[in-house]
Amino acid sequence: MQAFSQLLDSLILTPGRNAKITLLCDYFARTPDPARGWALAAITGELELKSVRPSMIRALIEERMDAELFALSYDYVGDLAETVSLVWPGTHGANYSPPLNEIIDTLLDTPKDKIPTLVSHWMDRLTPTARWAFLKLATGGLRIGVSARLAKQALAKFGSVDVTGIEEIWHGLEPPYLDLFAWLEGNADKPAPDMSGAFRPVMLAHPLIAKKDRDNPDAVDPEMITAEAFAAEWKWDGIRVQAVSENGERRLYTRTGDDISHTFPDVVEAMDFDAVLDGELLVRRKDGGVAPFNDLQKRLNRKTVSKKLLTDSPAFIRAYDILQSGETDLRALSFKERRLKLETLFAASDTHRFDVSPLIPIESAQALEALRNAPPEPEIEGVMLKRWESVYEAGRPKGPWFKWKRDPFLIDAVIMYAQRGHGRRSGKFSDFTFGVWKEVDDGFEITPVGKAYFGFTDEKLAELDKFVRANTIDRFGPVSMVKATREEGLVVEVAFEGLQASPRHKSGVAMRFPRFNRIRWDKPAAEAETLDGLKVFLSESA
């Protein structure tokens, strides 16, 4: 536990990628099996100790301190494990430090009703840093700035092998990875696990930056976009998924490899093919079109899916690509060849749970750009460009695929409320509610239309923070109310992806993905957008 908590503590404070890899390699070299394997599982998010839930930890701490003081602390720190580790009334001089595998074995062997007592017993005896590492481990989700990919790169360096060799077999391996470490240390052959139903690493696209942005080295010459070189298709506003159906195993994964099969039984039931597909998970409207993202959102993160939800919001997959057909891995073929196989697969099928994403003919880059900004359906975010010759390559390679998103909508709004951020932004106001003018009998009143958390640099954040401190007129807990009148108020340009009617919101509208584009110190508050002016976007985006 000591070595593991030191590793986590060092990783969180080490900014450089290479330095992190070195720390991980050192740890793998110094730590025996099975402890290092369990640590690897924790870091890559493969360790699931279902018996320890964050809600249980909250309950334990609230038995020990005032719930409101805990809430204020948690709000400030922004990380449950860190907050609890700091406020837990520990025993003075505590320094209990069992090996990692002992903790995990005990947790796995303890009946659920005895877990809270066991956890309290350990928490009382660990140092604050060890308490933090223990909670991170037990509740999952380390948030220490190390991705699963980085951990695999460290493994590759540790064993002097290629990282793709590890990624290939990764989803067939299980903690504590004795066979993997044996191979990496040269004591055994490469493991050959059964990969049926396993997730394949996904290929992602870079945003396309038009040549006019000359300062950007990644800018692309639009002349390059020709029908000979590229296939174009719509970028649908759903969730990118991978549907795997092989040897009787049927799985639905998110693009990060989370298994969401149980949430979409309607789709899984229709996977009567033997293939691995890449596509967009969407919800179908009654008339057969694509329903707004909101409808899909209602279906996410559910343990059980009601009949009503299945009927009201039927899900389907719009397929983009095929990675495997039967026993044959197709990833080394060109997009052109794969596309043909994809079309063949569904040519004779009459399922409404799967269809093939249509290609858009490319007449010219200009014509395509026009289509990108005025797509035929509102649930289209833009255009995808894929080189006909591109192989299916894990990661985000530069060059073969581009996403060319629709330009965001822009409005000028007035800042109304500010709230302190969490964690790394805990000292500064970083969450803002903004509003527009609503016409009332005797003039205008401000009405909130959205909230933005991101889209500014630390420097801009500091300027906003200063403004809020100087212009606060009232407070409600962590929220500050800021001066927002026709005469005095700060205008910000807000970018957003779409607008939907929403009876839940006071203004009657809800923005999708709003963020601050720039601060308009120059603009008088009275010249900000009106609610009627904003509602014009309703017809454009829905």
Residues that bind other proteins (CB under 8 A): 9, 12-15, 65-66, 68-70, 72-73, 76-79, 82-83, 86-87, 132, 145, 423-427, 469-470, 472, 475, 477-478
Q: Measured from the CB atom, is 75 or 168 closer to other proteins?
A: 75
Q: Output the CA torsion sign for 28, 29, 31, 33.
A: positive
Residue type, 278: D
Task: Tell me how far apart the alpha carbons of residues 469 and 492 are, in angstroms, rounded to a whole number.
Answer: 17
Q: Measured from the CB atom, is 130 or 283 closer to other proteins?
A: 130
Rg for the chain (alpha carbons), in Å? 26
Shortest Å distance, C-beta 419 to other proteins: 13
Q: Measured from the CB atom, is 73 or 334 closer to other proteins?
A: 73
Residue 164: which residues within 8 A CB-CB, separation 6 or more?
394
Task: Tell me how far apart the alpha carbons of residues 436 and 57 are, in angstroms, rounded to a whole number.
Answer: 41
Residue 325: which residues within 8 A CB-CB, separation 6 or more?
274, 275, 341, 345
Overall residue count recorded for the chain in this entry:
542
Shortest Å distance, C-beta 475 to other proteins: 7
Q: Measured from the CB atom, is 298 or 425 closer to other proteins?
A: 425
Phi, psi for residue 443 in degrees, rounded to 5: 135, -130
What the block records as the tokens of 106 is 């005990």
Q: Measured from the CB atom, is 78 or 193 closer to other proteins?
A: 78
Shortest Å distance, C-beta 453 to other proteins: 15
Question: What is the β-pairing status of strands 443-452 and 472-476?
Answer: unpaired
Task: Tell me how far apart the alpha carbons of residues 88 and 82 are, in angstroms, rounded to a whole number.
Answer: 10
- Buried-state track 86-123, b at ≥16 Cβ within 10 A, e below 16: ebbebeeeeeebbbbbebbeebeeeeeeebbebbeebb
Shortest Å distance, C-beta 13 to other proteins: 6
∠ at Cα 364 (363, 367), nearest 5°? 90
Q: Measured from the CB atom, is 255 or 422 closer to other proteins?
A: 422
Shortest Å distance, C-beta 66 to other proteins: 6
Q: Measured from the CB atom, is 17 or 331 closer to other proteins?
A: 17
**Residue 43 burial (CB count, 10 A):** 25
Q: Measured from the CB atom, is 70 or 444 closer to other proteins?
A: 70
Shortest Å distance, C-beta 118 to other proteins: 24
Shortest Å distance, C-beta 417 to other proteins: 16
Q: Measured from the CB atom, is 71 or 210 closer to other proteins?
A: 71
Which residues lie across from 234 on neighbouring strands?
A: 383
Shortest Å distance, C-beta 83 to other proteins: 6
Phi, psi for residue 103 in degrees, rounded to 5: -60, -45
Task: Tell me how far apart the alpha carbons of residues 67 and 91 are, in angstroms, rounded to a whole number.
Answer: 21
